[in-house]
Amino acid sequence: MKLPQSLQATLGIGLTLGVILFWIAALLSAVLIAQNKLNELFDSALAETAQRIMPLAVVEILNREVPGPPQSIAAFKAHDEPLTYLVRDKAGTVLLQSHNADPSVFDTQLLEGFSSSSTHRFYGASAVQDTLYITVAEPLTQRQAATLEIAVSLLWPLALLIPLCFIGTWTFVRRSLRQTLAYRDEIESRGSGDLSPVSVHGLPTEILSIAESVNNLLDRLRRALESERSFTANSAHELRTPIATALAQIQRLQQEPSTEAVKDKLSKIESSLRSLSCLSEKLMQLAKAEGAGLLSTEQHDLIDLLKLIIEDIRRSPTATVINVSLPENDKFMSFVDPDAFAILVRNLLDNAIKHGAKNQPIAISFSPQGVLSIINAGSIIPADKLSQLRQRFVRYNPLVQGSGLGLAIADAIVTGIGATMSFNSPAPKQDDGVEVYVDFSALIN
């Protein structure tokens, strides 16, 4: 799968590479132009040297009294001689040469004008009615060295240009995209329950239309969710009164004399009405969990709230043994709404009591770092089943009475307040059971 690419990195690297490629292209063009100009200058110097030396050589040769072996022009002092020459007669006999000349590098043919070999550049000229010929030779390495020096002098600034260009391009791109990056950060910092419009101030036109479409989508989604939550909450609220009235009528009928068959039917009706009442209460809790109001304007000690909730559960008729491990003389202050925290803990404990092993205690702890752990004994739940327990109306054991909304409500509250919840089965340091792990540490201010 192809990983997503950063627009900032793509623009920064692309612009830097583009500048470098243009610089290299300009450098190659400059080197080629300089090489042509150097060749013209070197050829001009080569021809000028031949024209200057030829008259002197003619005088020297014609003033000899007796023809003899070729003579070398003596040097005043030791020096490098990039240009060497030979003066030959029409038969090719060397009559005069520079002190460092090597006849083997010269062409045996007597040519006029410019010519080249694999190692030298030559210029030939004639005098005295084409009876004397001079050939001046220049090593090609001299021209190559000059071209290389020019190329290096143009190339070395590139080593400094690359990091400076990259830094400058990166800074320019980042400043150009700062509003886009701020837009990204604002979206990333939002919780899943925040569907308010995202600010589009200062965004470039290429991104503005996308941002406006996102805001329109958020608005439609917010209205759809509000409609769903309102329907759920209103329906559950409207059902409470008729359900309570029906329960009261059933309880009155149970007190009147009747046959065992009638009492059994009344008992089943009462059980169904209580289940319906419990479902109504869960739906109201779900509406609150998925709506606003999960955070308070004031901080509250979650440890003290947890103690009150546990004591209230212990006083219930179907109380289960709860082993509590809480830090002494320690507090965990948070902006979590007390009602939302109570709904969260009650649903987690109800789930542990209903689905845990009978006559086995529930272990609950809250660390100073803000980690709530609830452990119940029972059978091991496979990992694929654990991942589905957050969904609505999903129960691992369908034989256990319940609505299948407890963990969905807990997950909605945890997500809404910015905490995290995970499941472990078997529970840590146990061979069976389930642990529900809620981490509130991200809420520490």
Instruction: Name the residue type at position 350.
Output: D
Quote the pLDDT of residue 350.
87
Q: Note whether residue 175 is domain-resident.
A: no
Quote the pLDDT of residue 149.
87
DSSP structural state of residue 431 = S
- Residues β-bridged to residue 373: 365, 437
Asked if 438 and 300 sit in the same domain, the reply is: yes
- Which structure tokens are listed for 382? 């496979």
Quote the pLDDT of residue 322.
86
- Residues β-bridged to residue 322: 362
Quote the pLDDT of residue 373.
92
- Which structure tokens are listed for 149? 């020096």
Q: How many domains does the chain have?
A: 3
d(CA 31, CA 153): 10
Asked if 270 and 305 sit in the same domain, the reply is: no
120 close to 102: Cβ distance less than 8 angstroms: no
**How many Å from the N-terminal Cα to the C-terminal Cα in the chain?**
38
pTM of the model: 0.51
Residues ≥6 apart with Cβ < 8 Å to 440:
302, 332, 334, 336, 370, 371, 372, 417, 419
Quote the pLDDT of residue 30.
87
123 close to 132: Cβ distance less than 8 angstroms: no
Asked if 387 and 424 sit in the same domain, the reply is: yes
377 close to 388: Cβ distance less than 8 angstroms: no
Asked if 101 and 189 sit in the same domain, the reply is: no
Is the bond into 426 cis (omega within 30 degrees of 0)? yes
Asked if 153 and 11 sit in the same domain, the reply is: yes
Which pLDDT tens digits describe the chain residue by residue (445 residues)?
A: 555 677 777 888 888 888 888 888 888 898 899 889 988 888 898 888 888 888 888 888 777 765 555 655 555 555 567 788 888 888 888 888 887 788 888 888 888 889 888 888 999 888 888 888 888 898 888 888 888 888 888 888 777 878 888 888 888 888 888 888 888 888 877 765 667 788 888 888 878 888 888 888 888 877 776 776 676 666 666 666 777 777 777 777 777 777 777 777 877 887 777 777 777 677 777 776 776 667 777 888 998 999 888 888 887 766 678 888 888 777 888 888 888 898 899 889 888 888 888 888 899 999 888 899 999 988 888 888 888 888 877 777 766 776 778 888 888 888 888 889 999 988 888 888 899 989 988 877 5
d(CA 333, CA 292): 20
- Which structure tokens are listed for 178? 């700062």
Quote the pLDDT of residue 372.
92
Quote the pLDDT of residue 49.
86
- The values of phi and psi at residue 322, to 5°, are -120, 120
- Which structure tokens are listed for 367? 């660390």
- C-alpha dihedral, 39 to 43 to 44 to 46, nearest 10°: 140
- The values of phi and psi at residue 261, to 5°, are -65, -40
Last residue of a domain, one of 259, 292, 325: 292
d(CA 311, CA 304): 11
**How far, rounded to the nearest angstrom, does the alpha carbon of residue 337 sit from its chain's CA centroid?**
35
Asked if 33 and 120 sit in the same domain, the reply is: yes
Last residue of a domain, one of 127, 162, 197: 162
Is the bond into 428 cis (omega within 30 degrees of 0)? no
Q: Note whether residue 170 is domain-resident.
A: no
Q: How many CA atoms lie within 13 A of 375 on its CB side?
A: 19
d(CA 32, CA 178): 43
The domain containing residue 192 runs over which residues?
A: 182-292
